[in-house]
Amino acid sequence: QVQVVESGGDLVQPGGSLRLSCTASGFTFSMYAIRWYRQAPGKERELVAGIANFGGTTYYAESVKGRFAISRDNAKSTSYLQMHSLKPEDTAVYYCNAIYGGSNRDYWGQGTQVTVSS
């Protein structure tokens, strides 16, 4: 059974921090690049960060660059999204996507809610 499960979402104040986790099972995690997306109500899904299979290459959307950090631990089949200096504009459901470049096969988690509000 393939599973991708996000966790760590919470209600935080502006300027606060959260670390999201994405834990996968049922496939070879190290063969898949990981992308974190988010979607706010009424808005399209946007890519916020990505990391290559073995962590050699990362990507960040301009809106989160310098505040978010993506990482992965293949031994634990887990990716992390460390978020600092959170803003109300970061409020969204955050999704983890594991994608296999050879075929574009991908797996999605159910998402975890991040709410940034005072």
Query: Percentage of the chain with pLDDT > 90?
Result: 94
Collect all residues with Cβ–Cβ distance below 8 Å to 17 and sequence separation of at least 6.
82, 83, 84, 85, 86
CA distance 67 to 63: 9
37 close to 110: Cβ distance less than 8 angstroms: no
| Mean pLDDT value across the chain | 96
pLDDT per residue over 3-43, tens digit each? 999 999 999 999 999 999 999 999 999 999 999 999 999 99
Q: Is residue 46's pLDDT more than 90?
A: yes
Longest dimension (CA), the chain: 44
Q: Is residue 70's pLDDT more than 90?
A: yes
Q: Where are the extended beta strands (E) located within the chain?
A: 3-7, 11-12, 18-25, 33-39, 46-51, 58-60, 68-73, 78-83, 92-100, 105-108, 112-116
Q: Are strands 33-39 and 3-7 parallel, antiparallel or unpaired?
A: unpaired
